[in-house]
Structures are given as structure tokens and as C-alpha cells.
Amino acid sequence: MPGARRDVTVGVVGGGQLALMMGQARAAAGVRLVVLAASPEDPAVAVADEVLYGTGFEETSLRALAARSDVVTFDHELVDLDALGRLVAEGVAVRPGPSALLFAVDKAHQRRALAAAGLPVPRFVVAAAGDDPDEALRGFAGPVVLKRARGGYDGRGVAFFDGPDDARATLVAWAGEGEVLVEERLELLGEAALVVVRALDGSLAPYPLVDTRQAEGMCVETRYPSRLRPDLVEAAGALGARLAATIEPVGVLAVELFVTAAGLSVNEVALRPHNTAHWTIEGTTADQFTQHLRAVAGLALAPVEATATCAAMVNLVGGPHPPRPGPDVEGVYVHDYAKAWRVGRKLGHVTALGADPDQTRVRAWESARRLGAPAREVAWP
């Protein structure tokens, strides 16, 4: 934004790659950034205006962050919601607020609330410790998915079973530790993601829908524009607006969608910048990190336009060997999160822009391979 003044200090809970990319966007958003990092190795430490150490589960750390910030936001949802609620009651600006964050923190709450609002979700029940597992599984005949209500992400805390009988032992074990979502395993034609940024005044700045590919519960690749039928693209946009009205977040609302023969259903929502919108950094005039910071700082959102006909984003994931610096591929932007290499860990991403969807995608994968850290490739349907 021209002439932006850096009046507002945004405190970010967590110092991961999302906070890193918020840090890279802070000048464009016109804000200062204080990061609550877990360790000096956290990616965002290098770009923050100020760093505090601690976690989102420690009330003293959250209070220290709030004292240094005008508004508190998040890199991840590993946070003590009760402590945040106390801060809000004392007048601290927490955006998104605890009631919106609960959707991202607790999958059982999310499914119940979205179903109650009439939004399409897979058929589900919630089981807790002491519940009869056979009763919980009774309504399911085919393949099922178990999801821990809290604490799982990137495929952790999610398990797939061919039928309810196979799921019984895991259900009993997990339910002993907290609520478990039992849901039908849908036959997916594909997955898509919609990111909408909601400003403090409730106005929305949506990004175009993208198609996504997942492997082992982790996003592998996204492509813009989506190749879904125009009526489904339109339906996704309408779903995004209804979700924003239901959840009332401030900042990024990311919606992961399942595509089945019956249409779209909501897999899950996240209330922070999202992997499926990393392409917006180069692929749009106003990326998700800048828009998130502007929203939580109470500033107006910028209009969003795509800057290229096509974009493809591929995650860089730790393989058997550490990644190496690779030669550039034309029109591909490499984001290295400067994280220690570990097998299966997200280490960065690449975004290719272009005019032809297939060539754009090929260049993104070529770049990821040259760096020695492509995600496991899965074919588009």
C-alpha cells in the first residue's frame, strides 16, 4: 500500500514458515511484527522486528506477546484458548478471536457447528471416552476415517480404515485421550481449496479457487485456476461466504473442500494463512500474508487480481537427503523456509507462473526436483 505507516504492531503466536512469510510481507502491509517463537531456529526469527520466546500454551508467554503488540494473531492453532479468552476479556485484541479459533482447534466442534449451520460435511459422529465404540460405528458400513478432534494436523491424528470393524481398536485408544470424529470415507474425485480474507468490518476479499493434491495428509501441489466445473467453482465461492458468515473470523479463512460425485463438502477450515494459497505471493496483486496482516491490524484490504494465467505451487519436503541449492528454472519462485532438514518435513515451496497450465506445472516440478526435495508426486485425476 502506498504511504502505509507502520503504526500497528502485530504479535504472532508461533515462529514457523507462515510467520516467516508474514514477516516478509510486513512492510507491504505497513505493520511491525513481534513473533512468539519456540526456539532461535524458528524460521520467522530472522525476519521479525522483535522476538519473544515461549509457546501458545503458556499464558505468561501470551501475555508477554500481548504487552508488546497492538493485536495478536497466529502462525498455528496450538494455543490455549482459555488463556486467550482471558486476554480478550481484559481488552486485548486477538484476531481471529477464540470463538472463531475454536473451529480450527477442535474438529468435532467444527463438524457440529458447520452441520448445524446447514453446510455440507461428510456424515459423522463424535465419540468420547466411555462411549460405546460399537454404537459410534454402527451407522457406518463402508470405509471410515478417524480424526482426533484436537492436536492433529498434516495427517497426524487421522487414520483410514476399510470398514468400521478395523477402526474399533484405534477408536477406543484415541477416545481415551479426547474426542474422536468418526466419518465416512468419501470417494473423492478431487480436492480444492478456497481462501477468503475477512476484514475487521466484515468485508471479504476472496482468492480464486484452486485444485489441491494431498499425499499422506499433506498438501503436495496446488494449481490455479481450478479445473472444476464452473457451477462447482461458483458453489465453492458461495460456501466460502457462508462459512465466513458462520465463523466470523478476522484474517484468512481457508476452506479445504472435498469434490465428490454429489458435489462439494467441507473437509476443514483453517484460520491462518494456508499452504494452498502460497501461490498468491507471486500469483496475485495482494498475497494472503499481506492481506492477513492488514485484516488483523484493522486496515482495509486490497483488491485481488491474478498476475498470470496459471500458477502451480509444489511443496519442498525433506527426502532421504538434504536439499541442495539448484539452478533456477525460468518463471519459478523458490521459497526456502531455512528449516533444518528432516524426512517428511515441509522445507519450502516453489511457485511457477505461466500461460499454459501443463507447462507451468512441469516447470514447478522441475524446480522442486533440481532442489532435491519434491513432494511425493501424485497424479491429478
Residue from 131, 154, 166, 248 binding ligand ADP (CB under 6 A)? 154
* Least separation in angstroms between CB 80 and ligand ADP: 20
Residue from 85, 151, 152, 225 binding ligand ADP (CB under 6 A)? 152
* Least separation in angstroms between CB 303 and ligand ADP: 30
Residue from 64, 158, 233, 241 binding ligand ADP (CB under 6 A)? 158
| Three-state DSSP string of the chain | CCCCCCCEEEEEECCCHHHHHHHHHHHHHCEEEEEEECCCCCHHHHCCCEEEECCCCCHHHHHHHHHCCCEEEECCCCCCHHHHHHHHHCCCCECCCHHHHHHHHCHHHHHHHHHHCCCCCCCEEEECCCCCHHHHHCCCCCCEEEEECCCCCCCCCEEEECCHHHHHHHHHHHHCCCCEEEEECCCCCEEEEEEEEECCCCCEEECCCEEEEEECCEEEEEEECCCCCHHHHHHHHHHHHHHHHHHCCCEEEEEEEEEECCEEEEEEEECCCCHHHCCHHHHECCCHHHHHHHHHCCCCCCCCCECCCEEEEEEEECCCCCCCCCCCCCCEEEEECCCCCCCCCEEEEEEEEECCHHHHHHHHHHHHHHCCCECCCCCCC
**Residue 109, interface with ligand ADP (CB under 6 A)?**
no
Query: How many residues make contact with ligand ADP (CB under 6 A)?
Result: 18
* Least separation in angstroms between CB 181 and ligand ADP: 9
Residue whose CB is less far from ligand ADP, 158 or 204: 158
Residue from 47, 100, 145, 220 binding ligand ADP (CB under 6 A)? 145
* Least separation in angstroms between CB 86 and ligand ADP: 27
**Residue 155, interface with ligand ADP (CB under 6 A)?**
yes
* Least separation in angstroms between CB 51 and ligand ADP: 28
* Least separation in angstroms between CB 375 and ligand ADP: 13
* Choices 18-26, 75-83, 154-162, 170-178; region in contact with ligand ADP by CB under 6 A: 154-162
**Residue 122, interface with ligand ADP (CB under 6 A)?**
yes
* Choices 28-36, 55-63, 77-85, 180-188; region in contact with ligand ADP by CB under 6 A: 180-188
Picking from 20, 26, 62, 22, the residue whose alpha carbon sits closest to that of residue 41 is 20
Residue from 256, 280, 304, 337 binding ligand ADP (CB under 6 A)? 256
Give yes or no for a cis peptide into 164 (omega within 30° of 0): no
* Choices 87-95, 181-189, 242-250, 339-347; region in contact with ligand ADP by CB under 6 A: 181-189
Which positions from 204 to 243 touch ligand ADP by CB under 6 A, shown as an x/- string? Answer: ----------x--x--------------------------
Residues 217/199, Cβ–Cβ less than 8 Å: no
Q: Which three cell numbers stand for residue 320?
A: 532421504
Residues 239/245, Cβ–Cβ less than 8 Å: no
Residue from 191, 211, 221, 287 binding ligand ADP (CB under 6 A)? 191
* Least separation in angstroms between CB 183 and ligand ADP: 5
Picking from 55, 72, 13, the residue whose alpha carbon sits closest to that of residue 250 is 72
* Choices 178-186, 275-283, 315-323, 357-365; region in contact with ligand ADP by CB under 6 A: 178-186
Residue whose CB is less far from ligand ADP, 175 or 255: 255
Picking from 298, 319, 313, the residue whose alpha carbon sits closest to that of residue 371 is 319
Residue whose CB is less far from ligand ADP, 33 or 145: 145
Residue from 147, 274, 349, 363 binding ligand ADP (CB under 6 A)? 147
Residue whose CB is less far from ligand ADP, 185 or 227: 185
Residue from 86, 109, 185, 369 binding ligand ADP (CB under 6 A)? 185
C-alpha 209/C-alpha 227 separation (Å) is 9
The one-letter amino acid code at 107 reads: K
Binding interface with ligand ADP (CB under 6 A): 122, 145, 147, 152-155, 158, 183, 185-186, 188, 191, 214, 217, 256, 267-268
